[in-house]
Chain A
Amino acid sequence: MTVVTLNAPQFVDTKPLLTARNVCKSYGDVRALRDVSAVVYPGEVLGIVGESGSGKSTFLRCLNLEEVPDAGSYSLDLPDVQGNLFDLDRYARRMLCATQIGIVYQNPHLGLLMNHSSSGNVAERLLVAGERSFDVLRDKARDALDASEFPLERMDAPPSELSGGMQQRVQLAKAIALEPALLLLDEPTTGLDVSVQALVLDTLKRLQQERQITMVIVSHDLGVIQTLSDRVMVMRHGQVVEQGLVDQVFQDPQHSYTQQLVHAKL
């Protein structure tokens, strides 16, 4: 951790939306997460950077409740959401994820049914949450696809027939269809060509500003993190080595690993 200790917030009196404390996870002998803690305020974007194997994606999967950690707590400050979310049973976890947490994976295969229609993929999320009217499903799916700047004339095409950038848009539409409180992004632009990457980044930034969605974004691309995040957390070997305002961490990195990372930036 950095040697500098900052004061508690003095002017910002809203409670953090997301609070994770001392999350630990091991796979056999490998300690993937060691006492990882994070807070994210409503409307804020937290970036997580670090090399492959640093634990950043594992942490994101824990926040999406698809991975159960060995220890630690996780809470969201939302009406009707109480206690340590890691303790929820499977059904409650699934409902909470469907209604309050959206996720976009680097690999669209993880988030989408590749041979079902794109609109169907988005509507599935609404079905899980209990929506049964066909018209409502189709309208909401259309709105979400439109907000993600997906060309609506292709909404019935399955993701397997779409380009990588379009598949990311379907994932994004699915993630935001229910207007979740928290949007998790795991390398959302990795592997896309630069112009498509710019489109996705711009869409994310616009959605974030218009809807005040709270986001946690994991990427090894420092440029992406710099464009989208307010604050950034640097992870290495399953631990948080440094965190701070994105301009501060990139311009005046304190930890030796962060300095290496910033010096390696193109």
Chain B
Amino acid sequence: MTLVLDIRDLDKGFTMHHLGTKMAAFAGISFQLHAGEFLLLKGRNGAGKSTLLRTLYRSYLPGSGEILFHSSHGVIDLARAADVDVSFLRKTEVGFVTQFLTARPRVSAEALVAEPLRLSGVAAGEALEEARHWLDAFGVKRALWAAYPTTFSGGEQQKVNLARALILPQRLLLLDEPTASLDASARAALIDRLAELKAKGTAMIGVFHHPGDVAQLINREIDLTPETQSQEEREDVVV
């Protein structure tokens, strides 16, 4: 199995200067993740599940520890990688999927979805065609493709966001409750796409309110609730 992520003794806390206090989010996290593996993060609210995902993406700065990412260019410690290296890897190798779309003024749904492909070097026409395919797959009405998502309903925005986040196959995908409040057909499309990416070797770490949604994808679970941190192997799913 190809190693994708090797996390060693990672911890993260927040200093709240205006209160003069520090708050620990998680500490001493170590685990490995291989290509095509799907890891579910569990734990009660506030256990640090989303914080861990954001720390791996480097939206949060880790306190100490290492996040060794085995990229196609070599191994890099994301915990201390230069900002430009992180930006570079986000374009092609590390993806983050939330349930919220960051709409930009005056940018159409299809242009927004096509953008990750264009930035990775795909020709504009081809990227647009692919974008329409995924908007269709996630059930966004054709009439909305050229419209600006700023005014879309929450559900439609979420579908646009999924299409954008999953259009480009990546080496590591971080999933922060992408199924929350999604209708059944869009959820099915999401799970199909995740299964397809997983089969192609994308390693995934996810937080799900209803893990049942993705039960057939899960290989391993980690509970982040303090004192209970343990790993549970599942033998019923073949990587």
Query: For chain B residues 86-118, which have a beta carbon within 8 Å of chain A?
Result: 86-89, 104-107, 118
> In the bound complex, do residue B61 and residue A205 qualify as a contact, i.e. CB atoms below 8 Å apart?
no
Q: Are B54 and A251 in contact (CB under 8 A)?
A: yes
Alpha-carbon distance between A12 and B89 when the two chains are bound, in angstroms: 10
- B51-69: which have CB < 8 Å to A? 54, 58-61
Q: For window 152-186 of chain B, which residues contact chain A by CB distance below 8 Å?
A: none
Does B225 sit at the interface, judged by CB under 8 A?
A: no
- A242 to B: closest C-beta gap in Å: 10
A252 with B88, Cβ < 8 A, contacts A198-B106, A199-B106 known: no
| 26 A-B interface contacts by CB (under 8 A) | A2-B61, A4-B61, A4-B80, A6-B81, A7-B77, A7-B80, A9-B85, A10-B81, A11-B85, A11-B89, A12-B84, A41-B84, A197-B105, A198-B105, A202-B104, A205-B107, A231-B87, A245-B59, A245-B83, A248-B58, A248-B61, A251-B59, A252-B59, A252-B60, A252-B61, A260-B18
A248-B59, A252-B61 given; A6·B80 CB < 8 A: yes
**Any A CB within 8 A of the CB of B228:** no
Chain A's nearest CB lies how many Å from the CB of B147?
Answer: 15
Does B15 count as interface, using CB distance less than 8 angstroms?
yes
Cβ of B16 within 8 Å of any chain A Cβ, yes or no, is: yes
Known: A10-B82, A12-B82, A202-B106. A245 touches B58 (CB 8 A): yes
The answer to whether B44 has its CB under 8 Å from any CB of chain A is: no
Measured CB to CB, the nearest residue on chain B to A247 is B59
Find out whether the CB atom of B74 lies under 8 angstroms from the CB atom of A252: no
Q: Which of A1-60 contact B (CB under 8 A)?
A: 2, 4-12, 41, 44
Task: List the interface of chain A (C-beta within 8 A of B).
Answer: 2, 4-12, 41, 44, 197-199, 201-202, 205, 209, 227, 230-231, 244-245, 247-248, 251-252, 254-256, 259-260, 263
Range of interface residues on B (Cβ < 8 Å): 20 to 34
Q: Report the separation of the CA atoms of residues A101 and B57 in the bound assembly, to the nearest whole angstrom.
A: 34
Complex Cα spacing A64 to B84, Å: 24
Closest to A252 in B: B60
A227 neighbours in B (Cβ, 8 Å): 104-105
Residue numbers in B under 8 Å from A252 (CB-CB): 14, 54, 59-61
Chain B facing A: main interface SS: mixed
Q: Is the CB of B17 within 8 A of A259?
A: yes
Give chain B's interface residues, CB within 8 Å of chain A: 14-18, 54, 58-61, 71, 73-74, 76-77, 80-89, 104-107, 118-119
Q: Quick check: A248 and B60 within 8 Å, CB to CB? A: yes
Contacts of B87 in A (CB 8 A): 44, 230-231, 245
B36 to chain A, nearest CB (A): 23
Other-chain residue from B73, B80, B104, B119 in contact with A205 (beta carbon distance below 8 A): B104
With the chains together, A244 CA to B82 CA distance in Å? Answer: 9
Q: Give chain A nearest CB distance to B210 CB in angstroms.
A: 26
Alpha-carbon distance A12/B84, docked complex (angstroms): 7
Chain A positions within 8 Å of B18 at CB level: 256, 259-260, 263
- Among the listed B15, B74, B86, B104, which residue makes an inter-chain contact with A245, where contact means beta carbons less than 8 Å apart? B86
Closest to B115 in A: A209
Chain B residue contacts of A201, Cβ below 8 A:
104-105
- Contact check, B106 vs A12: say whether CB atoms are below 8 A apart: no
Beyond A202-B104, A256-B18, whether A7 also contacts B81 by CB under 8 A is yes
A4, A5, A11: most-surrounded residue (chain B CB, <10 A): A11
Chain B residues with CB under 8 A of A41: 84
Question: When chains A and B are docked, how far (Å) is the Cα of A247 from the Cα of B71?
Answer: 22
How distant is the Cα of A254 from the Cα of B71 in the complex, in angstroms? 28
Which residues in A have their C-beta under 8 angstroms from that of B83? Answer: 6, 230-231, 244-245, 248
A198–B107 alpha-carbon span in the complex (Å): 10
Provide the residues of chain A in CB contact with B88, threshold 8 Å: 11-12
